[in-house]
Amino acid sequence: MNILKVSPRGFCLGVVKSIKMAKEALKMYPNKDIYMIGLLVHNKNVVSDFESQGIKIIDDWKKSRLEIIKSIPKGSVVVFSAHGTDKNVVDYAQENGLIVIDTKCEWVLETENLINDYLKLGFEIIFIGKHNHPETIALTSINKEKIHLVTNTQEVENLNLNGESDIFVTNQTTLSIIDTQIIYEKIKTKYKNVKFKNDLCDATLVRQKAVLDLKTDEVDLLFVVGDERSNNTLKLVELAENKGIRSIRINSKNDIDLNEIKDVNTIAVTAGASTPSIIQNEVITYLESLCKP
């Protein structure tokens, strides 16, 4: 059995930055309560590590971020996730005695700035994203009347915008390169005054291209190491499957079923952008140990 290590894989710069900022908060405010609003990044191992160091994790889907913020005692530290947070929530926190650590990814910030620029020019915004993903929630909250979320071509068909409107199209940073293009092509057939900026982040793009470059006649199975809530991880699995390569998402080496790799010649391994190197390396080391006679 051969093990192919797909490159690049694992942590992106945005995740590294967010983790660094959260660690710095622990050092800067050792005597204050620190609350993480939502998951800093979509990986249980990363979040559990911070929880073990005393950060309180609040990830309650039944409450809005604003409701959560209003329940936190003044003087506390709040850490907002890499995916971005509704500006109204951040503003409320800053104006009501909370110390804010906003770890928003630079790519999300760039998309946010573009949306604001085109709104000022009077454009309608079509945002290609995933329902209930924190990045989508944050960016569409900028202007709920002028920003229109679509997740597939049918939702594009259901849009009822003025055919003469100027429209700017952008997207969640962690989507599939293929899905994004299909939806954009559908938008172009329906509206004529369209400008498009593909805001898939570089890390998402190069990791997806690395999977697309795998040869179906050379790889029998792909393990994608990552969390079930990590959209970029799920898209790597989806791209491989659509290409014809059997693909399995795992959280760690403990999820590897030996029956799944029986009679397999070549296994490729990649990882989502929020998966720690130590977890990836444990998977690779374990698989390589199975190759030894």
- If phi > 0 it is left, if psi is from -120 to 50 it is alpha, else beta; for residue 97 that is left
Q: Is 124 left (phi over 0), alpha (psi -120 to 50) or beta?
A: beta
Strand 99-102's sheet: what is its strand order? Answer: 56-58, 34-37, 77-80, 99-102
- Answer yes or no: is 274 a known binding residue: yes
Strand order in the sheet with 246-250: 2-5, 266-271, 221-225, 246-250
Rg, Å, the chain Cα set: 21
- Sequence letter at residue 217: D
137 token code pair: 């929630």
Does 230 show up as a binding residue in the annotation? yes
Alpha-carbon span 293 to 290, nearest angstrom:
8
Asked whether residue 64 is marked as a ligand-binding residue, the answer is no
148 is in an annotated binding site: no
Strand partners, 77: 34, 99
Q: Exactly one of 112, 124, 135, 238 is catalytic; name it.
A: 135
**Residue 135 and residue 225: Cα distance in Å, rounded?**
22
Strands 2-5 and 266-271: parallel
Residue 135 falls in the annotated catalytic set: yes
Tell whether 131 is in a known binding site: no
Task: Please tell me whether 266 is known to bind a ligand.
Answer: no
56 and 75 Cβ atoms separated by less than 8 Å: no
- Helix then strand then coil, % of the chain, to nearest 5: 45, 20, 40
Tell me the β-bridge partners of 188. Answer: none
Where is the binding site for dimethylallyl diphosphate, in residues?
42, 83, 133, 230, 232, 274
Where is the binding site, in residues?
12, 42, 83, 105, 133, 173, 201, 230, 232, 274
- Catalytic positions are 135
Where is the binding site for isopentenyl diphosphate, in residues?
42, 83, 133, 230, 232, 274
Where is the binding site for [4Fe-4S] cluster, in residues?
12, 105, 201
